[in-house]
A = this chain, B = another copy of it.
Amino acid sequence: MPELAGLAPKGTRRMGANPHANGGVLLRDLQMPSYRDYAVEVPTPGVRGIGDTRVLGPFLRDVARLNDAQRNFRVFGPDETLSNGLEALFEATQRQWNGQTLPTDECLAPTGRVMEMLSEHQCEGWLEGYLLTGRHGVFNCYEACIHIVDSMFNQHAKWLKVTSNIPWRRKLVSLNYLLASHVWRQDHNGFTHQDPGFIDVVVNKKAEVVRVYLPPDTNCLLSVMDHCLRSRHYVNVVIAGKHPAPQWLTMDAAARHCAAGIGIWDWASNEGDQAPDVVMACCGDVPTLETLAAVSILRAHLPELKVRVVNVVDLMKLQPHTEHPHGLRDAAFDALFTKNKPVVFAFHAYPRLVHQLTYRRANHDNIHVHGYKEEGTITTPFDMTVLNDIDRFHLAMDVIDRLPQTGDKGLYLKRRLEEKLVAHRTYIVRYGEDMPEVRDWTWGRRSP
């Protein structure tokens, strides 16, 4: 009957033709500030920063500001915008809140562009819907808590994989996770908050849609986040610190390093144009700090040792290029990690992930990974690394174990380092904080 047929919606009112069901059609590029304007000065490697995400905050604030008119950028998270160091956002916008307010409430507004609810599920669902309808966003979350949405992430990644092969579907903005309160700085919340396994779930999904970044300092974080916010149809996971921490790279160096995704830090290495005796690899901010501290010990006490430092920002560089679009070709991997020298690898997350990514590499048998091994409690920040054998002393001792040519001098140093571990233990039990030589250690200052 024509009168019934006439009830059917027409044109873009039809479900399948509704542009909101193909969000890429509605998508407008973000207006982006220049991330370089937020750079921290790094006159020499090792200068103290205020916390990587605390510098990212003003950058995100200005992204929110620049896109206020086109109303297509939001930041989502449980109740952690402040706790993750992104307080600057509230200079430009507020938490969206349509209900009653009390005089004691802070940063609430019916027009806010920060979406907070202490339900990771709700935040993930909001953000997915926002992206699917053609907008831009970031999910900031504690690293351990993001496991709560593993299953939702899985479904979104599957959706991205399938739709990327459907010609009429336009690409969406990437789903960006910023995991800003991570395993190594949960010394105060304790064991329940220590879980770096989300990226193990992520890398199981189709390589073409997943990306994992572990910027070692503030300038790298700025470069990575700028890249992620501009990318399309991926899931990007960015793991970053919020605590005061040493800064390694100038903005120019950081931009180059992040573009490469992995590289030798010549300024920290001493092998020159010769083959190194050992490769000290690191991935993540705390592992990078501990690796450089270990390198400084080794170079001070065993100066004849040729040490190469390799830092990994883009985790998927480790995988063969046949497995992931970012993967290094074997020749490039071998040029970094050698074909036959020991590699002592300090890794942010569970060690097995590095083996899982590198098992096809020529030098895999020589790669010895230190990472989180499910040890931890409420303790000091440095003790978290000690409990998991990823601290500077264990790393340096591992190098000595792998290099018999360090001989008696090496064994002597190893005994001194074992003593350091005992001193550490004694000190934290007595004073409840880390030894001054650990807290105040700075790259380039001779270690005791």
Task: Name A's B-contacting residues (CB within 8 A).
Answer: 144-145, 147-148, 150-151, 154-155, 158, 161-162, 191-192, 195, 197, 200-201, 203-206, 350, 352-353, 355-356, 359, 364, 374
Q: Which residue of B lies closest to A207 (CB)?
A: B374
Q: Is the CB of B201 within 8 A of A197?
A: yes
Contact of A197 among B148, B154, B191, B195 (CB under 8 A): B154
A205 cross-chain contacts in B, Cβ below 8 A:
374
Q: Is the CB of B158 within 8 A of A151?
A: no
Q: Is the CB of B204 within 8 A of A191?
A: no
Q: Is the CB of A206 within 8 A of B162?
A: no
A150 cross-chain contacts in B, Cβ below 8 A:
147-148, 150-151, 201
A204 cross-chain contacts in B, Cβ below 8 A:
195, 197, 200, 350, 352, 374
A153 to nearest B CB, angstroms? 9
A350 cross-chain contacts in B, Cβ below 8 A:
204
A151 cross-chain contacts in B, Cβ below 8 A:
144-145, 147-148, 150
Bound CA–CA A364/B361 (angstroms): 12
Bound CA–CA A42/B359 (angstroms): 40
Q: Is the CB of B155 within 8 A of A192?
A: yes
The 8 closest A-B pairs by CB, nearest first: A147-B151, A150-B150, A148-B151, A352-B356, A356-B356, A197-B204, A355-B359, A206-B374
Contact of A158 among B145, B161, B191, B353 (CB under 8 A): B191
Bound CA–CA A204/B200 (angstroms): 9
A197 cross-chain contacts in B, Cβ below 8 A:
154, 201, 204
A364 cross-chain contacts in B, Cβ below 8 A:
359
Bound CA–CA A355/B323 (angstroms): 14
A161 to nearest B CB, angstroms? 7
A158 cross-chain contacts in B, Cβ below 8 A:
191-192, 374
Q: Which residue of B lies closest to A149 (CB)?
A: B151
Q: Is the CB of A161 within 8 A of B200?
A: no
Q: Beyond the given A150-B151, A204-B352, A359-B364, could you list 14 further A-B residue pairs with CB under 8 A, ordered by the A residue number?
A: A144-B151, A147-B154, A147-B201, A148-B150, A150-B201, A154-B197, A155-B192, A195-B204, A197-B201, A204-B350, A206-B374, A355-B356, A355-B359, A356-B356
